[in-house]
Structure 1
Amino acid sequence: MEQVKEHFSFGNHRKDDIFLDIKKVFGKILKYWYFIFLSVAACVVVAFFVNRYTHPVYLVNTSVLMKGQKNEGITLSDIFSLQGRSSGGSNLKDEAVLLTSYKLIKSTLKNLNFGISYFIEDNYLLKELYQHTPVTLTLYKTSTNIPYGKQFACKILNRESFQLIDEDKVQNFKFGRTIDIEGFIFKIDLNENAEKYIGNQIIFQVNNIEQLVKHYRNSLSINPISEKSSVLNISITGTNPAKEMDFLNALVKNYIDKDKDEKNYNSKRTIEFIDQQLAKNSDSLRTIEGRMQDFRDQNATLNLSTEGNQLFKDIQELEKQKSSIELAQQYYDYLENSLSSQEGKLEQVEVPASIGLQDPVLNSLVKKLVDTQIEVKSIADDPNELKHNPRVQSKLQTIEELKVNILSNIKNVTATNRITLNDLSRRIGLFNSSLQRLPKAEREYINIQRNYSLSENLYMLLMQKKTEAGIAAASVESDFKVINSAELVGGALKPRPIKNYITAVIVGLVVPIGIILIVYLLNDKVTSKEDVLRLTSIPVIGSIVSAKNAADIFERKAKPNSALSESFRSIRTKLQYLVSSKGDQAKVILLTSSISGEGKTFCSKYLAYLLSITNKRVVLINSDLRKPNVSREYGSIGAGLSSYLAGLNDIQEIINRSPYDNLYLIKSGEIPPNPGELLLSKRMEDLLTYLKSNFDYIILDSAPIGIVSDGLELMKFADANILLVRQNYSLKSYVHEFNELYHSGRYQHIVVMMNDVKSKKLQYGYGYYAEDKKSKKVKKQLEKLKEQKDQLVTTKES
């Protein structure tokens, strides 16, 4: 038994299954090395072109510090209440939104004159000429058809003229002359640095400012350097670092200037309001001064009595209180008229911030209204932003709500002021009644002096507060400070040649290897002997090599030294060991498979032939009654196994001679209606008994056991059952089911034979002793030399 095992490969379920899998997968990968090599080469070529023809992209960065508190500038509320105020620090996220606002970026781009771009071709790439362009294009506002984004080529011929290339049109023009191309009106001037560009083409295009704004808004990245930091990092990527640095510097400067302007807004509105009050008060003061001067000229010796002097002081104090309230009421009226005239409109309402308000609620509402209006105007100057930006829509809703609350508050304050003014007027009236007891001249003098003092005090107060507001406006500082001006960060972000080449190699390896692995994992066919060993415990008797145009054994004699013949000889030898226990008795060998097309008939004939040439009597039976083989070796359909089993013919009538000595054939015959029952009949046993007494080997070419049960019925008669598995054809699931047959114990000597194995190593091993072309050629040459030698000997003898 140990001697028998040496000749078979047994199914393992071994510990090194994983190693075998890895080894097999690695072998598969190596088999397609050329495919992997071509993939890597193609990816490297693509990486080369990407590195060569991609515009370098750079990162430019600047940083801005946002101070903790804002200096809003002085307001009339501060002036009249003598209380300073400041607001908390801004939210960094809000500032980031403002920095990317449509209005701010658009004004920055216009200041930088980015409306026209100039390029020159450099190694098949368009390189932008920024700040060093040899020509300058001036676009006229009278243009009716501006081809935004379209590129024109300007070839400098000399210092006076150039060629303008518009697609296929080529025209010559003079520098500095007006050009009109279908409503596109412009002129081109030659700059001082144009000498080295003579003969070259300068490409220019007019940029759409709206598209530029969109591009820069999307390109900007604004983030705090840390969660608790007040420093914003502002960065942008672009192909021209000098241009992007200028943009960032201009953007930050524009934002800081805008921040100062917003802070000065309150001071400017305060000064405007004071100027209006001064204009009214100046006329009254001049009139009262004239009256006083006239009265003094006429009453030079008049002096006030003690009673008159006291009445003058009391009335003057009440008038001072009344004028302060009236001044505040004038602002309330102004504010109410301003809000009412702008009601229902989206544009900003021009309201001075917190002017002289003693009511803290109204003061807070007015300030919030002004701040919100300024923020909306900063974020969205574009009508589309006003309609579609949810943030802007929320702010507009807040503005309308604030207007309603302010108007309601003004009505309440106005009602309170009326009550206070009526009380002051009543008290002043009582003092005026007391004045009636004084002499007429003294009474008139007190009235004139009272009006003059009131007007003079109000005028001096307004002048003082105007000066304070001007000083406050001049001292306003921005809440933002530039820490680092825009600078280039590192080298080019892309392309990165080394990274691209590494990526190309990785992709070139991963893609083909991935495809190979996917095909391998999804392959449900048996591809090697190792697959059989993993799928089943049945021993493998050997492998039949694949042979192109393999000869039909009954049509043409097999080559005795071919790899195919050697592989069958190996199987023959192992079979002898397998059935050696039968001694000199006849041996029954059955060949079957899981499905049709796995080579049962071919292997049956070849094996039968090789057994017959060892001086053994062999009979080959086509026992597939459901699909009779009508090929030449079996002859045409007629008397055969089915007719014998059905009792229509005798044994001698169905046994046919073959072209070879010692080899006989029994064909299947006509297709019976009950093949399964016939194979189980007593006549089948009688046939095998008779054949065993007259032949050495009985080869049964059986039906596939994966389709019908006929083959299983015959396996119990066989001394050796060969299950055929064809490489890249047989299904793994069917091969795995062979285990059930093997472990059932009902059948003798079940083995697996691999067919159509495409392996160079296997073919070399089987064909080691075969005659190759070179040996045949040498043999023919030796035979020819021998013939020539014999002819010479014969000639000499004669």
Structure 2
Amino acid sequence: MKDWQDDVFESQGTDNRQGIFDLVRKLLAHWYWFVLCGGIGFIAAYTHLRYTTPIYRINARVLVTDQQSNANAMGQGAFGGGNLTSYFGGSNSVDNEAEVFKTRYLMKQVVSKLNAQIKYYHPGRVRDIEIHRPPFEIMLLDPDSVRGGTFVLEALDAQHAKIRQEGGFSIDVTYGNSVRLPGVGEVFISPQPQFGSIEGPYKLSIASLDGRVGEYMGRLSITINKQVSILNLGFSYPLQRKGEEILHAVIQQYMENNLRDRNAIADSTIAFIENRLLYVGRELGDVEGDIQEFRQDRQLADMSAQSQMLLQSSNEYVKQLAEVELQLDILDTVTTLLSGQANERVLPNAVIPEDAVFNGQVTQYNALVLERDRRLLSATLDNPAIKTLNQQLNTLRQDMLANLDNTRRRLTITRNSLRQKTGQLDRKVRDVPAVERTYLDLARQQQIKQELYLFLLQRREETAISKTATISNSRVIDPPKSASAPLSPKRSSILLTGLLVGLAIPFSIIYLRDLTNTRIESREDITKRTQVSIVGEIAHSGIRETLVVTPGSRTAIAEQFRALRTNLTFYLKDPQAKVMLLTSSMSGEGKSFVALNMAMVFALSGKRVVVMEMDLRKPNLSVKLDFANKVGFTNFVIDPSLAPSDVIAPSGVHDNLFLIGSGPIPPNPAETLLSNRLNELMTNLRASFDYIIIDTPPVGLVTDAQLLSQHADLSIYVVRQRRTYKSQLQIAEDLYRSGKIKQLAILINDIKPRGGGYGYGYGYGYGYGYGYYDNGKKDKPWWKFWVKN
């Protein structure tokens, strides 16, 4: 199984290679068409380049920087270190900036700024050439309403010109004045002497604003390098300088819009701060008024200091009250001592330190008591001195009690006063937390409003300062510059494409012609479809005569018949093998032509040859030789009295060549061929002739050839180039496989060397010029190759 598969694969590979070789051979056979079409394609490509407007690529690079670094002062100043764009929904993404470049709004601004709705051309016979700086300028007074149009401006003199349009519109204009154009509206024409004088006609192409914006947006391309936040901008335009100006205007307008947007954020921030300052200022004034009213009502100068003083006063009063109470207790004790003792005793000194009189009395009293006690040591109570001392003590005691009573009344008054003041202070101390809380609430509100007000004032100044330092978040790192070589058309690519297209046309025609051809074109068409061997190949005859093999003929086709004679000897090795039968798939494939010339080539070699015209349905052989076909095979079958010699007639072209005509056309040709008289005739012919050639009807139409093949030693199946269908080879293959016709071989007839795949000399190597024949007639011209034969 593996060996069989290898053989199949090897056979398929060989067939594929052979098919490629055949195709290459056919292509090389028509090399002149490739040269002609390739040259035409190259010339067409060159003409296309000559009259095609080149498009140049203008490139620029923009670095998108971080907005935080540029707006740091404004961002941190206004909102505590945050980026303004983060508060107002902005983004510094390079993708977002790329989308901004693609917006119609930006391109519309550029078109309006450059007055790009108008293009100026120098008219040409094939194409118009655009002008970058014309010597005049047309301004559109209402660009949004322009529908578009094409006009031609012709200078009349230094101050006047004529504008005309196809369709009959024409108007004379004066430079420096406005004029109305159809589809455009009011325009203003002004000369530009710095760019030269106005000479010759100028073509004006005016487009609508949206149309020009759409065109420029289509010419703009943007790629992103996210690793370094760089935008690669590209713009395609026929004029290099103008394309650079347009791309430069796009970048500048983008940066202006970006700066305006960022300043708008700062302006909005300042306006917001101003509004907040007014509101917070009013709130701060209200709170400060409430504090003033509260302090006035509560008589507060300093709440903390006054609270501290109140506590200190209360403590002082309590302390003084305690001292007064203590002094009253001491007075009561001293009074009890003075008024209740039987014998005088020494009183404590400095009982009432602040009463110097009482202290003096106590000192005097104690001195008298001590004096009296000392004298009582030596005297009695009745002693006048003791009595005097007692009287003095008694008087002094009364004075002291009177003094104590006055002091008591005074201290009582002081105590009552202190008690009243202490009560008042206690009530004030109890009210301090509530007053202080209310005051602290008001003070806290005042502090908050005041800090917010100061904060807004500071941020307003910082924002105003940062606005003056605002710059765009992008910068140009590579300004617009046009490439030196045009983007399109690519000269080498166009020329190569033109050449390839030119070469592809004959290739496609030849390939499709070969692919769609259902008729035999080459030897390989036969070998791929049948196992029947090929006995010979006969070229196309350039003459109309049927008999091309004549004595002394040295034409190529005569040599091919001689080669066929040689090949047939290998098939007829048996001395008894004399009979050759010729058949085909259908009529018109040259059986009679081959039969006669094959018989002639054998006759020229000294062999006696008889040709049997056995096509009883449509005899053609006798017609070609102008032979009177009155008595023939049909007569021999019908009339038993006729001998074989009665139907054999000389051909008239060679002494060794004889002919048996078909005779009258019978009503039943197939039954006629089954007659026993045919066997008798064939036996006689085998004894009388060296070779017998039988011309039969096409085997693809009737069965006559199969009936006659039993008498043949070799059956030759004639196929004709560009006449026999490839599918008809299956007939020969079926006859060969089934054995219905013994020893079958194929003969290829009417081979045309040009474009037919047989341009290699047919494998015989005679070296003859097959385009010419001895009769002086030339083969079909090469330029008629496209007409099928």
- Under TM normalisation by the shorter chain, which class is it? 0.5 to 0.7
Q: C-alpha separation between the residues in 1 aligned to 2:772 and 2:495?
A: 50
- Which residue matches 2:538? 544
Maintained 8 Å contact 1:638/1:670: no
Q: C-alpha separation between the residues in 2 aligned to 1:499 and 1:491?
A: 13
1:97 corresponds to 2:95? no
1:304 corresponds to 2:301? yes
Deviation of 1:626 (Å): 5.0
Q: C-alpha separation between the residues in 1 aligned to 2:680 and 2:498?
A: 72
Q: Which one-letter code corresponds to 1:160 in the other structure? A: Q
- DSSP-derived class of the 1:491 partner: coil
- Could you tell me which runs of 5 or more consecutive residues in structure 1 were left unpaired when the two chains were aligned: 1-12, 312-430, 775-798
Q: Which one-letter code corresponds to 2:583 in the other structure? A: T
Q: 2:566 aligns with which of 558, 563, 574?
A: 574
TM-score, length of structure 2 as denominator length: 0.66
Q: Which one-letter code corresponds to 1:139 in the other structure? A: L
Any idea what the Cα deviations from partners look like across 1:85-108, whole Å, max 9, x if unmatched?
Answer: 575974443332222012122122
1:590 corresponds to 2:588? no
Q: Which one-letter code corresponds to 2:191 in the other structure? A: L
Query: How does 1:761-780 map onto structure 2 within 5 Å?
Result: 765=768
Q: Alpha carbons of 1:557 and 1:609: their partners in 2 closer, same or farther (altered >3 Å)?
A: closer
Q: Alpha carbons of 1:447 and 1:524: their partners in 2 closer, same or farther (altered >3 Å)?
A: closer
Q: 1:49 aligns with which of 47, 50, 58?
A: 47
Q: C-alpha separation between the residues in 1 aligned to 2:769 and 2:246?
A: 78
Q: 1:670 aligns with which of 659, 665, 671?
A: 665
Q: C-alpha separation between the residues in 2 aligned to 1:471 and 1:640?
A: 129
Q: 2:555 aligns with which of 563, 585, 596?
A: 563
Q: Which one-letter code corresponds to 2:49 in the other structure? A: N
- Which residue matches 1:757? 751
Q: Alpha carbons of 1:306 and 1:31: their partners in 2 closer, same or farther (altered >3 Å)?
A: closer
Maintained 8 Å contact 1:164/1:170: yes
Q: C-alpha separation between the residues in 2 aligned to 1:529 and 1:292?
A: 122
- Could you tell me which runs of 5 or more consecutive residues in structure 2 were left unpaired when the two chains were aligned: 1-10, 309-427, 755-760, 778-789
Deviation of 1:24 (Å): 4.3
Q: C-alpha separation between the residues in 2 aligned to 1:706 and 1:14?
A: 30
- Which residue matches 2:257? 258
- Which residue matches 2:682? 688
Q: C-alpha separation between the residues in 1 aligned to 2:255 and 2:744?
A: 92
Q: Which one-letter code corresponds to 1:655 in the other structure? A: V
Q: Which one-letter code corresponds to 2:695 in the other structure? A: D
- Which residue matches 1:154? 153
Q: C-alpha separation between the residues in 1 aligned to 2:672 and 2:253?
A: 103
Q: Which one-letter code corresponds to 1:165 in the other structure? A: R
Q: Which one-letter code corresponds to 1:729 in the other structure? A: R
- Which residue matches 1:223? 223
Q: Which moved more, 1:490-499 or 1:738-747?
A: 738-747
Deviation of 1:605 (Å): 3.0
Q: C-alpha separation between the residues in 1 aligned to 2:770 and 2:152?
A: 73
Deviation of 1:231 (Å): 1.5
Deviation of 1:445 (Å): 12
- DSSP-derived class of the 2:711 partner: coil
Q: C-alpha separation between the residues in 2 aligned to 1:446 and 1:17?
A: 110
Any idea what the Cα deviations from partners look like across 1:156-198, whole Å, max 9, x if unmatched?
Answer: 2332222323235554432223323457322322111354x44
- Which residue matches 2:30? 32
1:469 corresponds to 2:470? no
- Which residue matches 1:519? 513
Deviation of 1:275 (Å): 2.0
The number of residue pairs the alignment matches comes to 628
Maintained 8 Å contact 1:59/1:493: yes
- DSSP-derived class of the 1:547 partner: coil
Deviation of 1:43 (Å): 0.9
Q: Which moved more, 1:278-287 or 1:63-72?
A: 278-287
Deviation of 1:14 (Å): 13
- Which residue matches 2:203? 203
Q: C-alpha separation between the residues in 2 aligned to 1:28 and 1:576?
A: 30
Q: 1:494 aligns with which of 488, 499, 507?
A: 488
- Which residue matches 1:133? 134
Q: Which one-letter code corresponds to 1:657 in the other structure? A: A
- DSSP-derived class of the 1:721 partner: strand
- Which residue matches 2:476? 482
Q: Alpha carbons of 1:570 and 1:17: their partners in 2 closer, same or farther (altered >3 Å)?
A: farther
Maintained 8 Å contact 1:162/1:174: yes
Deviation of 1:758 (Å): 2.4
Deviation of 1:488 (Å): 1.8
Q: Alpha carbons of 1:669 and 1:61: their partners in 2 closer, same or farther (altered >3 Å)?
A: same
Maintained 8 Å contact 2:536/2:564: no
Deviation of 1:114 (Å): 1.5
Maintained 8 Å contact 1:620/1:700: yes
Q: C-alpha separation between the residues in 2 aligned to 1:704 and 1:153?
A: 77
Q: 1:118 aligns with which of 117, 120, 124?
A: 120
Identity %: 25
Maintained 8 Å contact 1:634/1:665: no
Any idea what the Cα deviations from partners look like across 1:523-551, whole Å, max 9, x if unmatched?
Answer: 34333446556655555443333224522
Q: Which one-letter code corresponds to 2:221 in the other structure? A: S
Query: How does 1:258-657 map onto structure 2 within 5 Å?
Result: 258-280=257-279, 304=301, 306=303, 459-529=453-523, 531-532=525-526, 538-552=532-546, 561=553, 563=555, 566-567=558-559, 570=562, 573-574=565-566, 577-578=569-570, 581=573, 583=575, 587-609=578-600, 611=602, 617-629=608-620, 632=623, 641=633, 650=642, 655=647, 657=649
RMSD (CA atoms): 4.9
Q: C-alpha separation between the residues in 2 aligned to 1:544 and 1:452?
A: 124
- DSSP-derived class of the 1:237 partner: strand
- DSSP-derived class of the 2:483 partner: strand
Any idea what the Cα deviations from partners look like across 1:96-139, whole Å, max 9, x if unmatched?
Answer: 22220121221222222222222224684423222x22011122
Query: How does 1:162-173 map onto structure 2 within 5 Å?
Result: 162-167=161-166, 171-173=171-173
Q: C-alpha separation between the residues in 1 aligned to 2:289 and 2:769?
A: 138
Q: Which one-letter code corresponds to 1:126 in the other structure? A: D
- DSSP-derived class of the 2:270 partner: helix
- Which residue matches 1:731? 725
Q: Alpha carbons of 1:631 and 1:171: their partners in 2 closer, same or farther (altered >3 Å)?
A: farther
TM-score, length of structure 1 as denominator length: 0.66
Q: 1:59 aligns with which of 57, 61, 65?
A: 57
Q: C-alpha separation between the residues in 1 aligned to 2:551 and 2:191?
A: 89
Maintained 8 Å contact 2:636/2:647: no
Q: Which one-letter code corresponds to 1:61 in the other structure? A: N
Deviation of 1:22 (Å): 5.4
Maintained 8 Å contact 2:102/2:217: yes
Larger radius of gyration: 2
Maintained 8 Å contact 2:75/2:83: no
Maintained 8 Å contact 1:544/1:564: no
Q: Alpha carbons of 1:506 and 1:200: their partners in 2 closer, same or farther (altered >3 Å)?
A: same
Q: C-alpha separation between the residues in 1 aligned to 2:106 and 2:227?
A: 26
Q: Which one-letter code corresponds to 1:588 in the other structure? A: V
Q: C-alpha separation between the residues in 1 aligned to 2:772 and 2:247?
A: 83
Q: Alpha carbons of 1:522 and 1:115: their partners in 2 closer, same or farther (altered >3 Å)?
A: closer
- Which residue matches 2:82? 84
Q: Which one-letter code corresponds to 1:304 in the other structure? A: A
Q: Alpha carbons of 1:67 and 1:169: their partners in 2 closer, same or farther (altered >3 Å)?
A: closer
Maintained 8 Å contact 1:220/1:236: yes
Q: 1:722 aligns with which of 700, 712, 716?
A: 716
Q: Alpha carbons of 1:136 and 1:434: their partners in 2 closer, same or farther (altered >3 Å)?
A: farther
- DSSP-derived class of the 1:273 partner: helix
Q: Which one-letter code corresponds to 2:267 in the other structure? A: K
Maintained 8 Å contact 2:622/2:661: no
Q: C-alpha separation between the residues in 2 aligned to 1:454 and 1:746?
A: 123
Deviation of 1:599 (Å): 0.7
Deviation of 1:668 (Å): 6.2
Deviation of 1:40 (Å): 1.2
Q: Alpha carbons of 1:28 and 1:281: their partners in 2 closer, same or farther (altered >3 Å)?
A: closer
Q: C-alpha separation between the residues in 2 aligned to 1:731 and 1:738?
A: 12
